[in-house]
Amino acid sequence: MKGNLVKELEDRVFVFDGAMGTMLQSMGLKSVECPEVWNMTREQEVAFVHEAYLKAGSDLILTNTFGGSSIKLREYNLEKQAYDINFKAAELAKKAAASYGGLAVGTIGPLGQHIRPFGEISFDKALKSFCEQTKALTAGGVDVINIETMSDISEMRAALIAAKEAADLPVIAQMTFGDGLRTVFGTDPTTAVTVMESLGADMVGANCSGGPQELLPVIEEMAKVATVPIVVKPNAGLPVLRQGQTVFPASPQTMADYAELFVEQGVNIIGGCCGTKPEHIEAVRERVSGKQPKKQKNMHKSRLCSRNKTITLPDDTGILIIGEKINPTASKKLQKELTEGKLDHVRQLAKQQGKEGAHVLDLNVGIAAVNEKEVMGRVVEAVSAAVDNPVAIDSMDVNVLEENVRKYPGKTLINSVTGEEDKLKQILPMAKKFGAAIIGLAVDENGIPETAEQRLAIAELIIKKALKAGIRREDIFIDCLVMTAAANPEAARETMKSIHMIKEKTGVKTVLGLSNISHGLPSRDILNSTFFGACLGSGLDAVILDPGQESVKKVLRCWDVLTGRDKGARQYIELYSEKKDPREGKKELASGDAAIEDQLKTAIVDGDKESALAWLRDGQRSHFEPMDLVDQVLIPALEEVGEKYEKGLCYLPQLILSAEAAELISNEIEKGCKDMETRRHGTIVMATVKGDIHDIGKNIVSVLLRNHGFKVVDLGKDVDRQTIAQSAQREKADIIGLSALMTTTMQEMEETIDYLKRKKVNGQIMVGGAVITPDYAAQIKADGYGTDAQDAVRKVKLLMNKRARK
């Protein structure tokens, strides 16, 4: 089945179905109902929807299981029925598809909760839930698994790993994107494709994300890097309210026009998401019928990713610089910090190396005094939140590697695997399963070979086994090994010879831990830089070093000139055309009270709760006025993060972590400050309207508002208008914040506002949510609208100022 589908996609464009929810709503599905339970109670209606799309020309139809995970079904107290609901949905889709020669596709949507560290759901719990759903869909007879509408790459990883583990079926993986061609968690199309392909997705793409106009540039970016078929399922435009009804404005003709454009970009499967109906699919079918898909011409390249950044070798890097400083072996300060369970220095080293030019950060926590697996997890999490550099997980313990490579929100580099048989058997399948690249050490059971020929033999063995395990050649790096020149004068020569031979014979990337060459010798920087230059001439691709070592950086800048990477020697001339004051551009460190304030502010901006709390304690010991900390540190920190967020310099994860750190500090200050309550800027009642069980965005807004000095009364989700009115009156609310994520609850938002106005509830009304637009907000007579959490804070302040002037 798998081979047949992917092969057929080379010859013609396939058509997906449209929206299941839109159709069920037209047949009576209430906003408070669980759509998936209709598989058990209203199976004829679900079957009717399937047949309607098949008659319209769909080749593939999705099961009615978008919210069918046990975690999502818990919102309706249906988690114990998860298997039966998914199994029945698969049976219904399979029966309908078989009647029309189509394929049944088991669909898996988001959990509705964030995965740690941005939420309470663990990666393992998410993985288990997705595994259970995949098994039920497979048992029910689906032909394909479809993962869609994911905005968090960690959640996509969990779902993809589960799908590949629990079933032997083709898997489609689709992310959903917002403004700026990024998901709300900051993942760009290139990173999404790279991660999804690394985990074995057979088809990749994007769905939802507004209408076809909004998705076209996303697909254009995906098409530049994808090496597998591309899928797209846009909404029928952005929803609007017309005559009291929620309407998706894109006509069948519009969807068909864009379908042609998508095919020109290289899309192989086209369908529709929210608001699309059989008439849209019929128009798309007619337009793409007989069209030949664009042939994929992209080549596999060496890529590593963090959550929101991809580096391509050598296009983005030239020589790949891997920062070595997060390693306690030669750092007593780092040893002490890790032993004490602290991570402040780790974050500082991560940022420092990123600024100094490291592309990737090597993470090593191997000291006897700590639980390496647990500490590595905390370090990976801290570094991922602090910087956007991809990481290398550096450990000799297979369990440490597996635990952290599995959870890493990107595509990581395993450092390392040797030529030892047991290591190859353990690490290579794990690297393949979790989509990692590898560093292979040219060493085996007999130790480090003395000659280049022996190292080549081990390298060839590692490469052969890696390729057999399914790891691409582009994802293999060989460490040719460096021995100290002090102990062996021939060491450098054999290393350079090894680089040349391995490059010439195997074509894989080569890497070195540079500083070993000068161990035990004086003026190490001179020897390191000279040896580095010689290795570059032998064909070295990547180096593990201290990126702040200026002598090595000079060699690299010269190399870029000599190889033409620095075109016209522009960067070289800029750096060395005139002698510069070495103090130029360096910021003097503050001291005393100013240093404490700066450090506390930095910790809040970074979302570093641990360090923020420590610096707050220092401030309290220095007898800082609590409200001075709020005015001079807390609020400026939040404003700095907010400004970065609005400029696209940081993303939702950083915003969440910073808000949580600020809330922690605010709560601590409040414990010893009676003035906090009297200094509140106003009272805000927050609620997700009746019928809508989504509250993630509303919760983030609430946290930010509290941090900015507002009293927030959060009523939760699925709140009726009477409760909102009573609470607003009781609390004497200045502002009432209403949220809605579902198109089916947009009408409830309008009716809630109308009710509040009829009851003469004092307080301005602000609205927001994924489906809400400025036009809709104006139409339903809201006083304000927030596009996102940060914008909501700004708009609330504007409304409060306006209220104060009355």
| pLDDT for residue 593 | 59
With a CB cutoff of 8 Å and minimum separation 6, the contacts of 77 are none
| pLDDT for residue 617 | 81
| pLDDT for residue 335 | 94
At 320, is the pLDDT very low, low, confident or very high (cuts 50, 70, 90)?
very high
Cα three-residue angle 215-17-33, rounded to 5 degrees: 95
* Dihedral Cα 523, 526, 528, 530, nearest 10 deg: -150
Contact 408, 397 (CB under 8 A): no
Has residue 610 got a pLDDT over 90?
no
| pLDDT for residue 581 | 43
Mind listing the pLDDT tens digit for each residue in 458-480?
999 999 999 999 999 999 999 99
Say how far apart CA 309 and CA 186 lie, in whole Å: 9
- Mean pLDDT across the chain: 90
Has residue 379 got a pLDDT over 90?
yes
At 20, is the pLDDT very low, low, confident or very high (cuts 50, 70, 90)?
very high
Q: Note the residue count of the chain.
A: 806
| pLDDT for residue 674 | 57
| pLDDT for residue 577 | 74
User: Which tokens sit at 20?
Assistant: 């299941």
Mind listing the pLDDT tens digit for each residue in 613-629?
888 887 766 666 776 77
| pLDDT for residue 621 | 65
- The answer to which of 184-188, 264-268, 612-616 has the lowest mean pLDDT is 612-616
pTM score, two decimals? 0.86
| pLDDT for residue 390 | 98
Q: How far is CA 658 from CA 113, 601, 644, 670, 684, in A?
A: 19, 10, 12, 18, 21
| pLDDT for residue 592 | 53
Pairing of strands 245-247, 310-313: unpaired
- SS3 annotation, 545-577: ECCCCHHHHHHHHHHHHHCCCCHHHHHHHHHHC
Q: Which of 645, 649, 665 is nearest to 790 (CA)?
A: 645
Contact 235, 275 (CB under 8 A): yes
| pLDDT for residue 806 | 60
Say how far apart CA 117 and CA 703 lie, in whole Å: 16
Could you tell me which residue, 731 or 570, shows the higher pLDDT? 731
At 645, is the pLDDT very low, low, confident or very high (cuts 50, 70, 90)?
confident
* Dihedral Cα 641, 646, 651, 656, nearest 10 deg: 50
Best mean pLDDT range from 195-199, 380-384, 514-518, 642-646: 195-199
CB-neighbour burial class of residue 674 (10 A; exposed 0-12, middle 13-18, buried 19+) = exposed
With a CB cutoff of 8 Å and minimum separation 6, the contacts of 199 are 157, 160, 161, 164, 173, 434, 435
Contact 69, 107 (CB under 8 A): no
User: Which tokens sit at 228?
Assistant: 């597998």
| pLDDT for residue 718 | 85
Mind listing the pLDDT tens digit for each residue in 40-73?
999 999 999 999 999 999 999 999 999 999 999 9
Tell which phi-psi region holds residue 781, choosing left (phi > 0), alpha (psi between -120 and 50) or beta.
left
The arithmetic mean of pLDDT across residues 603-616, rounded, is: 84
Mind listing the pLDDT tens digit for each residue in 96-128?
999 999 999 999 999 998 998 888 899 999 999
Has residue 676 got a pLDDT over 60?
no
Mind listing the pLDDT tens digit for each residue in 283-297?
999 999 989 888 888
Has residue 586 got a pLDDT over 50?
no
Mind listing the pLDDT tens digit for each residue in 686-729?
999 988 777 777 888 888 888 888 899 999 888 999 999 999 99
Has residue 775 got a pLDDT over 90?
no
Has residue 282 got a pLDDT over 90?
yes
At 744, is the pLDDT very low, low, confident or very high (cuts 50, 70, 90)?
low
The arithmetic mean of pLDDT across residues 760-789, rounded, is: 87
| pLDDT for residue 631 | 78
| pLDDT for residue 589 | 36
| pLDDT for residue 585 | 42
| pLDDT for residue 133 | 98
Q: Which of 300, 252, 308 is nearest to 280 (CA)?
A: 252
| pLDDT for residue 787 | 85
Contact 187, 175 (CB under 8 A): yes
Q: How far is CA 642 from CA 601, 612, 719, 768, in A?
A: 14, 18, 29, 17
Has residue 772 got a pLDDT over 70?
yes
Has residue 734 got a pLDDT over 50?
yes
Could you tell me which residue, 590 or 512, shows the higher pLDDT? 512
Q: Which of 487, 541, 549 is nearest to 518 (CA)?
A: 487
Say how far apart CA 754 and CA 773 lie, in whole Å: 18
The rounded percent of the chain whose pLDDT value lies above 70 is 95
Has residue 153 got a pLDDT over 60?
yes
Has residue 1 got a pLDDT over 60?
no
